[in-house]
Amino acid sequence: MNRYRQYAAATAMAVCALAAGSAARAADAYPSQLLKLVVPFPPGGGTDTMARFVAAALTEKYKWNVIVENRPGAGGMVGLGALARAPANGYNLALGQTSNLSINPYLYTNVSYNVAKDFAPVVSVASQPMVLVVSADKPYKSVADLVKFAKAHPGKLSVGNAGTGTVGDITGRYFAHEAGIDVLHVPYKGAAPAMNDLLGGQVDIFFASTPAAMSQVDNPKVRMLAITTLKPIPQLPAVPPLADTLPGFEAASKTGLLMPAGTPQAAVDAVNKAVNDVLKSQDLQRKIMDEGNVVLGGTVQEFTDTIASDSAKWSGIIKDANIQIK
């Protein structure tokens, strides 16, 4: 009887060891199938390009099979809505950004997802600041000059943006609030017409995306007064932070990976670790920075906190400005 008990105990231990080994191998094997990365914008744009850079880096370093699927529409809300309804099996991701995570939910009356309830934040990827640009023939040569002019001429300073509700639009409203000035906001259908009207004198200032500003570096007709980071960036080292004049001022379009809520934490952690690893590559950093971005990375909690803090900031600005799009 004792020998039987010893045999049974040994057998049970062996089965447990086999099960543990199988579980460990299964965990090590993640991902064991195709990963689908949704881009909520059309092919060829900045978000699409960044997603493909990251997907290619994961494939090269880890041999992960990552397919990028474009699901454009409604300012990124169609793609994120699709992610919210996707199976939480560890194989569905999307590259979200400030507009569809921290602005649109407070700007539009009908949004098909709840950021806090429907998504599992995974990792921050990059941040793209805005650049305050003016025509070189304007009299203001600094942010202080600009604010002084605006206070002396209430409602006369016009601020162009690439469209109502864009990060540039909300940044312009944030700037006016923090500076204590009354300005006229002029929306355009994209950055190109806004820049053209700036050069033509139809608008006074424009909060341009970093790539749009970088394309004008050698244009003597454009003056860059400030960037919305807390310190200068390598791509535009001579452009001072707006925070030098308005302490603490910071605004950017931030991108990061999301999974559906309920995704196993092991899968979230695995993707977080892998993306942080590939973001250390100088080649990937160069590609992301060439698009006008600051490379981020970080923990799951840091990205979660970023979404929450950005949502609190931008929703407050939207409420104060009484902006709503049906």
How many separate domains does the chain show? Answer: 2
Does residue 17 lie within any of the structural domains?
no
* 59: containing domain: 28-127+252-321
Is the domain of 237 the same as that of 134? yes
Q: Report pTM.
A: 0.87
Spell out the alpha helix ranges (H) of 29-136: 46-62, 77-85, 98, 104-107, 115-118
Residue 14 has pLDDT above 90, yes or no: no
Residues 147 and 220 in one domain: yes
What CA–CA distance (Å, rounded) separates 269 from 160?
41
Domain boundary among 214, 244, 274: 244
> What's the pLDDT tens digit per position in 93-102?
999 999 999 9
Q: Is residue 19 part of a domain?
A: no
Contacts of 285 (CB under 8 A, 6+ apart): 279, 295
Q: Does residue 271 form part of some domain?
A: yes
Give pLDDT tens digits for 74-109: 989 999 999 999 999 999 999 999 999 999 999 998
Q: Are residues 82 and 123 in the same domain?
A: yes
Find the CATH number of the domain harbouring 187: 3.40.190.10
Q: Does some domain include residue 314?
A: yes
Q: Which two tokens stand for residue 80?
A: 């994120």
How far apart are alpha carbons 136 and 141 in whole angstroms?
8
Out of 244, 271, 289, a domain closes at: 244
Question: Does residue 113 sit in the same domain as residue 49?
Answer: yes
Question: Which tens digits make up the pLDDT trace of 274-324?
Answer: 999 999 999 999 999 999 999 999 999 999 999 999 999 999 999 988 887
**Residue 4: inside a domain, yes or no?**
no
Indicate the helix (H) or strand (E) that contains 318.
helix 300-321
Q: Return the closest-CA partner of residue 256 out of 201, 293, 204.
A: 293
Q: Do 254 and 126 meet the contact criterion of CB atoms below 8 Å apart?
A: yes
Which band of pLDDT confidence, cut at 50, 70 and 90, is reported for residue 41? very high
Domain end residue (candidates: 221, 244, 267):
244
Domain annotation covers residue 235: yes
Percent of the chain with pLDDT over 70: 91
Structure token digits, residue 57: 């880096």
List residues bridging with 209 in a β-sheet: 130
pLDDT tens digits, 112-133: 999 999 999 999 999 999 999 9
Q: How would you class 322 by CB atoms within 10 Å of its CB: exposed for 0-12, middle for 13-18, buried for 19 or more? A: exposed
